[in-house]
A and B are shown apart, each in its own frame.
Chain A
């Protein structure tokens, strides 16, 4: 069946005219069309499974196989890729042309956005980890979701495959509109998967919130897209990049200093912020943790939320075309502030899954700051490493949830790593944590370093307040180490102690094996349920990939522009051959005779170590697991509790996410809601009231003169006589 689909796509591609200036894609790049085809086919198959009422794990295995096949396809294309962007045309989508006579000359305009895929190294970089992780997490989910085998299982994997389809459209789209299709598509899948446990109101509300918040950002995207079309007359990347490369708009006029470079990037940035949960928009992502953990791992940590980073990287030429770099400064500052903001919340809350959620927001802030600080390579590399370590962390958290009846409170879990069957989870969490907090030698360390150092390298004259951004990020890096290890020291090491969660009524609403709803956590014997083989394999592979993600940093990058070899090793080389290529400013800073990057190795390591040690001191257990400086002896309390009264209400505020949800509710939702009621009232009583008044007018007139029709014969006669008199009077008056 897949062969047939592929064949169909290839034939369609041959039939359609390729309007771009790029040569016909080589067969290798054409292969990439299989990815959307396979994933869409898998979605349909999951639908068929649901219709056939399949009550086995068939959908999962089918999905794992098809996603692995996708990864294979991407890998094959990657290996055959020579660095030149290619376009693989599948079929025409919104594609039409018209002729208008302008000043007596016929001019043909067109609006072309096809199902065509733009394959450059940025695309491939993203696709590699998207499909790879998707296959891995599908494997994990096959066990994690096993409580729901049947219709729910089919639904889950259908949405899962649809997500990968949408993501591949987003990443591989050859025009802004197809990117937008993927953009909204991942939003839909996110909505469906967050609300997977649809009988739970909080999950439904979270899904809705995610979709609507995303839509607000999407408006920015759409406006940016339409502006792009107005300015350049095209939505296709190759035509667009060609024009921007020449510094002209569609009519051949230079774009420097015009609204084209000053306004459009801001609009796209708003879109990116929505999807990547940046400043103003971040509130949906923590709530999205209502979804099943595999979903959180794939969509809300590794892939979908990095779509904003991808969008800006994809449109980097447009962002960079502005000499004043206004939009990029905006992006840098937003990223840095988001990173800091989210970190403050993470340090206060107790829900380990939400800690991961906020941590994702914070790390996305780093990526945005990287983009803003003119190092798309750093941003891309951090996205890459973050995808692996954050997915691993989520998979670990998921294993804990799965095992302890949905318990997520770090005050109720301790020493998990020492419990039977959870050893691997403990190791995975440690590896994830050292990456997240940037312990030297890890992938996370190198990728974060590239961004941090850039803050002190990029001149403040180019990016407004680059140094300040650097300092904010540095502080945040320290906070990151603290909150990461706060969780680690509390949950995974220390005395073995736990309170099982409320199971069916907890976060994930998932039923552990063998104990259904009648399970009462307070009375029943609770046996932690260690992860099974598929979950272990996925966690193990995720862990391994996280460790391996450091290697690309040392792989030789190709010399891209100028004489410098692209920094960032392999990823740098990938970025340098893509639309995101940018001649990142190099040395502008030296510290003790070291270049900024080299200096930052030591500085960030130091900052990270401080954060880690504070975490160990405040939360670490007694003995070596707390690095001999902790003194925690039970799950619920630690030294940090003593700090809470000192900080006073700050902690309360941070725990309540600085009341941003409440503020939004008060400032936007409530007024709109009231306005809606007022409008409905107006609609019923004013707009429709006027209509009814108009309709009632004849009736009312009738009613007004009805009393004259009293049935009294003499009354009528008197009226007639009176009428006659009036007529006579008029006649006499007129006649004389």
Chain B
């Protein structure tokens, strides 16, 4: 294990030369909060969906940053999965949104409140 780690690190530049972990996390946090605010304030389903994507990516940045910080690939591995899932999800969600739009000719989230069951 140790050997493998050192091998991987060997090919990389000096760890965290300029920007520190805190910077990456700050960016990630800002993106997440932006996404959250967007999600909570906007009513358009597509915008809301984009906001969730924003939060996703915020999490991805944090993960990659941590992976780099700890000198392993765990973070990146996660992100690869997240991207894959996000892609699939985007396809599904947009398809759903299209269907919903066809039903009510509207993209307003409030018009679907009766789905509460």
Residues of A whose CB lies within 8 Å of any CB of B are: 709-714, 717-718, 721
Contacts of A714 in B (CB 8 A): 39-40, 43, 109
Q: Which residue of A lies closest to B33 (CB)?
A: A721
**Cβ of B102 < 8 Å from any Cβ of A?**
no
In the assembled complex, the Cα of A711 lies from the Cα of B115 at a distance in Å of 6
Contacts of B114 in A (CB 8 A): 711
Assess whether A713 is in contact with B116, with CB atoms less than 8 Å apart.
no
Among A709, A717, A721, which residue has its beta carbon within 8 angstroms of that of B116? A709
Q: Which residue of B lies closest to A714 (CB)?
A: B40
Residue pairs across A and B with Cβ atoms less than 8 A apart, 22 shown, are A709-B116, A709-B117, A710-B113, A710-B116, A711-B112, A711-B114, A711-B115, A711-B116, A711-B117, A712-B109, A712-B110, A713-B48, A713-B109, A713-B112, A714-B39, A714-B40, A714-B43, A714-B109, A717-B40, A718-B40, A721-B36, A721-B40
Assess whether A711 is in contact with B39, with CB atoms less than 8 Å apart.
no
In the complex, the number of residue pairs spanning A and B with C-beta atoms less than 8 Å apart equals 27
The 10 A-B pairs of least Cβ separation, nearest first, read A711-B116, A711-B113, A713-B109, A709-B116, A717-B39, A717-B40, A712-B113, A714-B40, A711-B115, A721-B36
In the assembled complex, the Cα of A710 lies from the Cα of B117 at a distance in Å of 9
Measured as residues with beta carbon below 8 angstroms from the partner, the interface class of chain B is 10 to 19
Interface bits B99-117 vs A (CB < 8 Å: 1, else 0)? 0000000000110111111
B111 to chain A, nearest CB (A): 10
Q: Which residue of B lies closest to A724 (CB)?
A: B36
A362 to chain B, nearest CB (A): 82
A377 to chain B, nearest CB (A): 92
Contacts of B43 in A (CB 8 A): 714
A700 to chain B, nearest CB (A): 19
* Residues 76-99 (chain B) with a chain A CB within 8 angstroms: none
In the assembled complex, the Cα of A717 lies from the Cα of B51 at a distance in Å of 12
Contacts of B116 in A (CB 8 A): 709-711
Interface bits B38-67 vs A (CB < 8 Å: 1, else 0)? 011001000010000000000000000000
Contacts of A713 in B (CB 8 A): 48, 109-110, 112
In the assembled complex, the Cα of A247 lies from the Cα of B36 at a distance in Å of 99
- Binding site secondary structure of chain A: helix
A55 to chain B, nearest CB (A): 73
A33 to chain B, nearest CB (A): 80
Q: Which residue of B lies closest to A716 (CB)?
A: B116
A97 to chain B, nearest CB (A): 70
Q: Which residue of A lies closest to B51 (CB)?
A: A717
A466 to chain B, nearest CB (A): 90
Q: Which residue of B lies closest to A713 (CB)?
A: B109
A725 to chain B, nearest CB (A): 10
Contacts of B36 in A (CB 8 A): 717, 721
B28 to chain A, nearest CB (A): 14
Contacts of A717 in B (CB 8 A): 36, 39-40
Contacts of B112 in A (CB 8 A): 711, 713
In the assembled complex, the Cα of A718 lies from the Cα of B36 at a distance in Å of 9
In the assembled complex, the Cα of A219 lies from the Cα of B81 at a distance in Å of 84
B108 to chain A, nearest CB (A): 10
Q: Which residue of B lies closest to A710 (CB)?
A: B116
Interface bits B7-32 vs A (CB < 8 Å: 1, else 0)? 00000000000000000000000000
In the assembled complex, the Cα of A712 lies from the Cα of B115 at a distance in Å of 9
B51 to chain A, nearest CB (A): 9
A404 to chain B, nearest CB (A): 83
- Contacts A711-B113, A717-B36, A721-B40 given; 16 further ones with Cβ under 8 A? A709-B116, A711-B112, A711-B114, A711-B116, A712-B109, A713-B48, A713-B109, A713-B110, A713-B112, A714-B40, A714-B43, A714-B109, A717-B39, A717-B40, A718-B40, A721-B36
B58 to chain A, nearest CB (A): 13
Q: Which residue of A lies closest to B114 (CB)?
A: A711
B5 to chain A, nearest CB (A): 28
Contacts of B110 in A (CB 8 A): 712-713
Contacts of B117 in A (CB 8 A): 709, 711
Contacts of A718 in B (CB 8 A): 40
In the assembled complex, the Cα of A413 lies from the Cα of B84 at a distance in Å of 114
Contacts of A712 in B (CB 8 A): 109-110, 113
B45 to chain A, nearest CB (A): 9
In the assembled complex, the Cα of A280 lies from the Cα of B51 at a distance in Å of 91
B54 to chain A, nearest CB (A): 13
In the assembled complex, the Cα of A30 lies from the Cα of B49 at a distance in Å of 104
Q: Which residue of B lies closest to A721 (CB)?
A: B36
In the assembled complex, the Cα of A717 lies from the Cα of B41 at a distance in Å of 10
A715 to chain B, nearest CB (A): 9
A250 to chain B, nearest CB (A): 76
B114 to chain A, nearest CB (A): 6
In the assembled complex, the Cα of A435 lies from the Cα of B36 at a distance in Å of 113
Contacts of B113 in A (CB 8 A): 710-712
In the assembled complex, the Cα of A621 lies from the Cα of B109 at a distance in Å of 110
Contacts of B40 in A (CB 8 A): 714, 717-718, 721
In the assembled complex, the Cα of A709 lies from the Cα of B117 at a distance in Å of 9
Contacts of A711 in B (CB 8 A): 112-117
In the assembled complex, the Cα of A543 lies from the Cα of B104 at a distance in Å of 107
A625 to chain B, nearest CB (A): 99
In the assembled complex, the Cα of A712 lies from the Cα of B110 at a distance in Å of 6
B40 to chain A, nearest CB (A): 6
Q: Which residue of A lies closest to B45 (CB)?
A: A713
In the assembled complex, the Cα of A721 lies from the Cα of B36 at a distance in Å of 8
In the assembled complex, the Cα of A715 lies from the Cα of B113 at a distance in Å of 11
B100 to chain A, nearest CB (A): 12
In the assembled complex, the Cα of A709 lies from the Cα of B115 at a distance in Å of 10
Contacts of B39 in A (CB 8 A): 714, 717
A274 to chain B, nearest CB (A): 68
Q: Which residue of A lies closest to B110 (CB)?
A: A712
Contacts of A710 in B (CB 8 A): 113, 116
Q: Which residue of B lies closest to A709 (CB)?
A: B116
A132 to chain B, nearest CB (A): 87
